[in-house]
Structure 1
Amino acid sequence: MPFEADLSHALDRTADSLEPDLTALLGGAVERGRSRRRRRSAAVIAGVGACTVVAVAGLVIPGALAGARPSGSDIETVALAVPRSAITGTQMVDALKETLPGGTFSQMTGQSNNPSDPSGGYVANGQLVVDDGHGAALVGVSAVRLKLPLRDGDGLSCERTPARAEGDTCTLSELPSSAAVPGGAVVMSERNAAEHPVRGDTAHRWTVTVTLKSTGAQLQMVQWNSTGGGSGADTPKPTRTAPPLSEQRVVAALTGAAWAPILGAVG
């Protein structure tokens, strides 16, 4: 996985979120790099470290670099809260496999969180490459808890993110309160090209972030139409035209039975 390529992506977005005491670095170098200031990761999953970011499938945790906000930035920081209980990397990978039935899996990696020790990380994540018969794709999910009350920021407002390049999109919607989503949820959906101007062989990533209003629990799924995340010409070329799951299927999955235990453990 092109971790180095995604790192620059992650640095853009994570310089303004975590509290100074959240100095945890994910032990595994799972790939995750979300562009600019998009949480847990752009694209699929990240860990927190003292002045360090780990990128997973192009996804980045809210604010992995404490106090490193760009000069002159008016973007509010997004602070993490302590998860309610531990989640293992194996749980994350298993839930991800359950979300993508019927495919063959490879390059599976996961990272646990550690609520009792900030240095162990507050973010759980899992990623894999799935081939569902339409081409291999890198997919990842991260789980984190934001501090309440929720504020505009990662996964919560398209307007609060840096300007998107032509062709990139971001939409925001809400889910009503239900048994599966008590108190309702905010859903942010993004589509970003790995390089601009976009060419015929440019890879894309699709990111869906679901944040529960009542607890701050947040799940983010990142899907690439290639076998690796990244940015620019070093990103693996597309293996398919669309991601494995549509936005509607991602939202249904992240608020469904497979991820309910993880949402409960986070928030």
Structure 2
Amino acid sequence: MLTDQHKDPFEERLTAALHETGGGFDADRTALAARGAVRGRRKRFVRRAAVTAGAASVVLAGVGGALVLRPGGTAAEAVPSSVTASAKPTPSATATHATDEQMIETLKRLLPKGDFSEERGQGTEPTDKLKVPAPSAGLVFDDGKGAAAIGVSVGRVQPGGTQARQAAQCPDRVFIPYDACRTSRLADSSVVTVLQGYEYPDRRVDTKFWTAELVTPTGQHITVSEWNAAAEKDKPVTRTDPPLTPAQLTRLAAAKEWRAVANALPEPLPEPELPGSDLHARTNLLALLPKGLKVTDKSSDDGDFAYAVVDDGKGRSLVQVNVQPDMLDVAGDLFGSGSETLPDGTRVAVKQGPGDRGDQVMWTVDTMRADGRRVVISAFNAGTQNESATRATPALSIAQMRKMALDARWWSGS
């Protein structure tokens, strides 16, 4: 399973699993892409051993971390907005539900003049297949300069919560390459982040992926996505850039019509407390790095995941760590016949295989204490997971990574 982990991007495999198990979801691929792809792009690749999505249970036994949103950007200067509608959601019991057709027609009405095709929509009215509505609309738009997929999704988040804060952050370039990203505050105090990136982080296909993600002070959450092709994947590029400019993306995301849709949704559930916030992964990683390495970049926060880009004079090398308590339930998936068990019951598995690009290598040392506490350290022969190799092998040896992963300081505060 570890070999497969590095051959396929996480996002593609999770999407495939959803399509295989979801049935009815597959019919609304464009709208799903608008909802799901942006979240995958904006989250940091920290692969946890088990991810459950609806009916799909996908075991991901690679580096071992969940897709966890991490702060990484800074707010730009405020920009004016013509939005005057109140952002305060009304109680869902009194709100008017939107139908599938109304979602589509609203999107078409808010777009510039052009031709529309492959229209799909999901309203706010609960159905047998979708108990909790996830309203969205998607279509192919052609303004005479080439067909392009465009989608919008609407949701609600806890005001001031983790999801709301992270929606207002630009992703970390170490993991997600992009051309531009800007976070702005509108006149009504809504925050919108416009990202101009790519469908494939490794740029193996030059499909551009641009998004605007808006969160109002009261938690209405709107995401608009567009591509310079008629679909997010498996369609040829039809134009240099997606049709909507960053300013047009912002106006579309800020339209009052989407806020009315958000008002019909249930109140968001309280956010659970994320485990591992006191594990100080960055502090420990930097302290345990072998001497003689120059740190050229590092993660900004200090929870259960951290990275550092190091250089020993022979080229940059990305090193990352994930610290996870209580992982015994997936021990069998992570530690097979080739793993080692130490006298104290700690399991150790070593993997040396390809990285996310064909010329990359990724070395991983995966450890789990007898009580389920897990530390996974990986190193690449490149400064990011999306660039060509900068050296023949990672800057750390397997022996050095093993020593770091087994160090007692990871759990000294537990």
The AA in structure 1 aligned to 2:149 is L
Q: Does 1:229 find its partner at 2:229?
A: no
Note closer, same or farther for the CA distance 1:95–1:51 as it changes in structure 2 (3 Å cut). Answer: same
Residue 9 of structure 1 deviates from its aligned partner by: 3.9
Q: Does 1:99 find its partner at 2:96?
A: no
Q: Tell me the SS of whatever aligns to 2:11.
A: helix
Task: Give the corresponding residue for 2:78.
Answer: none
Task: Give the corresponding residue for 2:47.
Answer: none
* 2:168–2:193 Cα contact (<8 Å) kept: yes
Task: Give the corresponding residue for 2:241.
Answer: 242
Q: Which runs of 5+ in 2 are unaligned?
A: 1-7, 16-21, 43-51, 71-90, 268-414
Task: Name which of 146, 162, 168 aligns with 1:156.
Answer: 168
Task: Name which of 209, 213, 226 aligns with 2:213.
Answer: 209
Q: Tell me the SS of whatever aligns to 2:137.
A: strand
Equivalents in 1 of 2:100, 2:37: separation in Å? Answer: 20
Equivalents in 2 of 1:92, 1:221: separation in Å? Answer: 13
Task: Give the corresponding residue for 2:64.
Answer: 71
Task: Give the corresponding residue for 2:203.
Answer: 198
Q: Tell me the SS of whatever aligns to 1:208.
A: strand
Residue 168 of structure 1 deviates from its aligned partner by: 4.5
Q: Tell me the SS of whatever aligns to 1:37.
A: helix
Task: Give the corresponding residue for 1:121.
Answer: 132
Equivalents in 1 of 2:251, 2:135: separation in Å? Answer: 20
Q: TM-score if structure 2 supplies the norm length?
A: 0.44
Q: Tell me the SS of whatever aligns to 2:249.
A: helix
Q: Deviations over 1:130-178 (max 9, x none)?
A: 111111100010111112333256523225797213x44432222132x
Q: Does 1:176 find its partner at 2:174?
A: no
Q: Deviations over 1:196-234 (max 9, x none)?
A: 5436x61111111111112x111111001000013xxxx
Residue 247 of structure 1 deviates from its aligned partner by: 1.5
Q: TM-score if structure 1 supplies the norm length?
A: 0.65
Task: Give the corresponding residue for 2:221.
Answer: 218
Q: Which structure ranks higher in relative contact order (CA pairs < 8 Å, sequence separation ≥ 6)?
A: 1
Residue 26 of structure 1 deviates from its aligned partner by: 5.9
* 1:26–1:111 Cα contact (<8 Å) kept: no
Task: Give the corresponding residue for 2:27.
Answer: 29
| % same residue | 26
The AA in structure 1 aligned to 2:64 is S
Task: Name which of 50, 54, 65 aligns with 1:50.
Answer: 54
Q: Tell me the SS of whatever aligns to 1:170.
A: strand
Residue 242 of structure 1 deviates from its aligned partner by: 1.8
The AA in structure 1 aligned to 2:226 is Q
1:77-88 equivalent positions in 2, closer than 5 A? 84=92, 85=95, 86-88=97-99
Rg larger in structure? 2
* 2:227–2:242 Cα contact (<8 Å) kept: yes
Alignment length (residue pairs): 214
Task: Give the corresponding residue for 2:192.
Answer: 187
Q: Tell me the SS of whatever aligns to 1:137.
A: strand
Equivalents in 1 of 2:10, 2:28: separation in Å? Answer: 11
